[in-house]
Structure 1
Amino acid sequence: MENIDIGKRVEQYRKAKVLSIRELAKLAEITPSMLSQIERGLANPSIQTLKVLAKALDVPTFSFFLEEKNTADLVVRTNQRRKMVIDNLSYELLSPDFTGNLASAIMKVPPNTSSSEKLLEHKGEEVAFILEGKIKVYLNEEEHILEAGDSVKIPAYMKHKWENDFNQNAVVLFSVTPPAF
Structure 2
Amino acid sequence: MTEPTIAATIAAALRHERERAGISLTELARRAGIAKSTLSQLESGVGNPSVETLWSLGVALDVPFSRLVEPPAPALRVIRAGDGPRIKSDQLDYTGTLVAAGSRAARRDIYVLTIEPGAARHAEAHIPRSVEHIVVAAGRLRTGPAGDTVDLDPGDYVTFAGDVPHTYEALAPGTFAVLVMEHP
- What secondary structure is seen at the aligned counterpart in 1 of 2:125? coil
Deviation at 1:78, TM superposition (A): 1.3
Q: 1:103 to 1:140 in 2, by over 3 A?
A: same
Separation of aligned partners in 2, 1:172 and 1:148: 8
Separation of aligned partners in 2, 1:115 and 1:174: 15
CA RMSD of aligned residues (A): 2.7
| Equivalence for 2:78 | 76
| Equivalence for 1:146 | 152
Separation of aligned partners in 1, 2:116 and 2:149: 19
User: Which amino acid in the other structure matches residue 80 of structure 2?
Assistant: T
Does the 8 Å contact 1:138/1:144 carry over to 2? yes
| Equivalence for 2:42 | none
Deviation at 1:86, TM superposition (A): 1.8
Instruction: Give the alignment partner of residue 175 of structure 1, picking from 164, 171, 180.
Output: 180
- What secondary structure is seen at the aligned counterpart in 1 of 2:149? strand
Query: What stretches of structure 2 of length at least 5 have no aligned partner?
Result: 1-71
Query: What stretches of structure 1 of length at least 5 have no aligned partner?
Result: 1-69
Separation of aligned partners in 2, 1:113 and 1:82: 23
Q: 1:74 to 1:111 in 2, by over 3 A?
A: same
| Equivalence for 2:117 | 111
User: Which amino acid in the other structure matches residue 152 of structure 1?
Assistant: V
Q: Indicate whether 1:94 and 2:99 are aligned.
A: yes
* 1:1-181 equivalent positions in 2, closer than 5 A: 72-73=74-75, 75-78=77-80, 80-87=83-90, 88-95=93-100, 97=101, 99-100=103-104, 101-116=107-122, 120-122=124-126, 123=128, 124-164=130-170, 166-178=171-183
Separation of aligned partners in 2, 1:159 and 1:71: 31
Separation of aligned partners in 2, 1:158 and 1:112: 22
Q: 1:142 to 1:167 in 2, by over 3 A?
A: same
Figure out how many residues of one structure are paired with residues of the other and give that number.
106
State the identity as a percent: 14
Report the structure number with the largest CA radius of gyration: 1
Structure-2-length-normalised TM-score: 0.49
